[in-house]
Each structure stands twice: as C-alpha cells, then as structure tokens.
C-alpha cells in the first residue's frame, strides 16, 4: 500500500451508475433520482479490523492496521514505509526527544543501534545524559498526578509518570568528572575542541568502565561508529556541568559547527535517506534541515502528538517540510498522531525485528 492509494482528490472518484444489490431496477431508479450526486467508492480499501477468533498471527495483526482506519491506518503506512527504507538500503536517521530514553523505548533504540539498523541519531541533551544515568542507576515507574510538592520534598524529579531521584544526578556528575579531565587534556593536545558528536562518542567509550555498559545506547553507538548528534547539548544537566567546567577552565570549548558539516556530508554521500522522527524539537529539525542539501528525505515517518496548528516545528507536518525541501515532494511519508511509547515498539516489531529474525536464519 502506497501513499497514492490514500491521497483522495476529485480524480480519485468516478461516476457510478451501477445498480445497488439492495434494490431491484425500479426501486433503484426511484431512489437515486431523489438523491444528490454521490459516489459508491467501489475499489477503495474496505475498513476492516483484525479477527481475534482466528489463531493469532502477529504479521496479519500488524498488516490489518492499514485497513482499520483512524491512526491505525497511519501506523500501517508507517510500517510499510519503514520496510521500504530497509529493503532499499536507505541511510536511516532516527531522531528522538529525551523522554524516549527516559522510558522503555531506550531499550528499543538500543536494539536498533546495536544491530546497525539506523545510521545516525539526533537526540536532545536529556537523552544523552539519561542514557548514562540509567546505565548507572535505574529510573522507576511513578504516576502522572502525584503532588509536585511531595516529590520535591522527597528529592525526586518526575518525567511524566517516570520518577528520577535526585541522587542519580550525583552518580552522573561523579562519572563525568574524570571524563571532563581527559577531554580537556586531549583538547589541548590536539589543539582543537571536540564536536558534540565526538564528545558523545567519548561518553560511549567511557561508559565501558561500568558493569552494565552494554545497556547503553551510547556504548553501542560508539562500538558501531554510529554518530549521535545533539544540536542543543547544553539544554540539561550536561549544560550545568559544562558551565562549571567553563568556570574552572576558560579555554574549554565544544565545537557545534563541526557537527553540522558532518551530518551534511552523511546526507550528501547517501544514495537514499529516510527518517523516523519521534517527537519534535531541535532533534527533529536537525535531521530535516540537513536533508535540504539533497532536496529532501526520500522517506519520512513522524510519530508525535504535536499538531501543526500552532506553527511550531515540533507540530509541523510533512507538507510544511516539503515546502522547504526537507522532504521530497514525491517521498512516501506519514505522520502518526500518537504517543511514541505506544506505537514505536509496534513499528519496530513489524519492521526491524523481522529483519533481525531473517538475518539470524
């Protein structure tokens, strides 16, 4: 199923004067002469859900989304487009906001990075630091509606219904201090600052000192040489630590420009580019903006709850991106209007997991 099958226009419809099976000739003629112009929509995909009375088949289940309607149809399209990316050896960018790392989607992203199914990542600063933090100490399940005052008094931060005790950031700071010392000395030795992706690469290298290092997304990105971009690296706890480093060492720098050249080169050297964009923010736009240099992505799958009506980039849809040459005008694309912790695992199970199982045989 392709986008064209879902794009309805005046040309999609044809005049139908066929008889309805409900009426005989005379009744049909009598009823239709009193009706305004209408279409029978014959030939369009029929709305139909999965039959749970049959033996459960996961492939049939996910394939049924395309004809379910509402956002299930968009998810079905997203699955199909992602499979096209895989089949056509596309250079795949994954962008995500930090809550994807806060949540159990971190393990799904790790699966993609560990198995080299994505080729570059764009992420917010919280996602970088929380991957390290959760390798050191876990976050725990909480609730959305607990009193902020109660959590503040107990020294617990809240990310939706995920609780992050303050002490996790003490462990993070302790982990970071020797890395900062090493990075600073290497910066002086090589006489140029680290780019953000080089700094994140060193984080993935450094986390090997920890017992549970193989749980880390950044470790597998380091091991597989998959660049992790973070255009707003100071927007979080890392930024606070950078602030203190700058007070301590006036000649400490991070190079942002170098990463922009790096991501543009990846885009220009790719035969085809595709993106799976979880949420919005700078992580999303960094991928879209880089692809302007090749007149747009060849494939795009958005998963977000943000809407386009406030003119924010986070909510901006594919048509808006096409107007800036961030997505090719004929590119298969879809915006799945849903919360990513619900639908991203399903999308991965119906696409990359199938490839994983095929590759193991």
User: Are 256 and 195 within 8 A, CB to CB?
Assistant: yes
Query: Can you state the angle between helices 352-360 and 340-349, rounded to 10 degrees?
Result: 30
Tokens at 316, concatenated: 């901006």
Residues involved in catalysis: 326
CA distance 57 to 147: 43
Q: Which helix (H) or strand (E) holds 290?
A: helix 281-290
Q: How many CB atoms lie within 10 A of CB 359?
A: 9
Distance of CA 29 to the CA centre of its chain: 53
CA distance 121 to 109: 10
Which of 253, 202, 209, 260 is closest to 230 using CA atoms?
A: 260
Each residue of 37-53: b (16+ CB within 10 Å) or e? Answer: eeeeeeeeeeeeebeee
User: Are 282 and 124 within 8 A, CB to CB?
Assistant: yes
What are the residues whose beta carbons fall under 8 Å from the beta carbon of 164, sequence distance 6 or more?
Answer: 102, 130, 133, 139, 156, 157, 158
CA distance 51 to 349: 20
User: Are 193 and 199 within 8 A, CB to CB?
Assistant: no
CA distance 182 to 240: 18
């Amino acid at each position: 199923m392709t986008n064209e099958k879902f794009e309805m226009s005046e040309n999609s419809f044809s005049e139908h004067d066929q008889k309805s099976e409900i009426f005989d000739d005379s009744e049909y003629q009598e009823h239709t002469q009193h009706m305004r112009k209408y279409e029978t929509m014959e030939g369009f995909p029929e709305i139909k859900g999965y039959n749970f009375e049959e033996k459960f088949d996961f492939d049939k289940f996910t394939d049924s989304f395309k004809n379910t309607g509402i956002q299930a149809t968009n998810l079905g399209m997203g699955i199909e487009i992602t499979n096209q990316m895989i089949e056509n050896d596309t250079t795949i960018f994954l962008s995500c906001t930090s809550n994807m790392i806060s949540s159990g989607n971190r393990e799904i992203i790790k699966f993609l990075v560990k198995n080299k199914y994505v080729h570059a990542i764009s992420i917010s600063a919280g996602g970088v630091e929380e991957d390290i933090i959760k390798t050191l100490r876990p976050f725990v399940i909480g609730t959305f509606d607990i009193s902020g005052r109660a959590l503040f008094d107990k020294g617990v931060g809240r990310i939706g219904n995920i609780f992050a005790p303050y002490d996790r950031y003490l462990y993070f700071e302790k982990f970071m201090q020797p890395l900062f010392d090493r990075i600073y000395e290497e910066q002086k030795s090589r006489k140029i600052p680290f780019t953000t992706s080089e700094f994140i690469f060193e984080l993935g290298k450094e986390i090997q000192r920890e017992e549970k290092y193989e749980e880390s997304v950044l470790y597998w990105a380091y091991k597989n040489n998959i660049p992790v971009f973070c255009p707003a690296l100071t927007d979080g706890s890392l930024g606070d630590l950078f602030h203190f480093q700058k007070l301590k060492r006036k000649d400490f720098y991070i190079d942002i420009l170098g990463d922009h050249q790096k991501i543009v080169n990846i885009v220009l050297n790719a035969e085809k580019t595709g993106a799976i964009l979880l949420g919005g923010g700078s992580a999303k736009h960094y991928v879209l903006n880089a692809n302007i240099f090749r007149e747009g992505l060849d494939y795009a799958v958005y998963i977000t709850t943000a809407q386009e009506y406030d003119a924010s980039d986070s909510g901006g849809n594919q048509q808006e991106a096409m107007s800036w040459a961030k997505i090719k005008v004929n590119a298969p694309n879809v915006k799945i209007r849903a919360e990513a912790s619900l639908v991203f695992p399903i999308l991965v199970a119906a696409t990359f997991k199938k490839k994983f199982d095929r590759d193991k045989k």
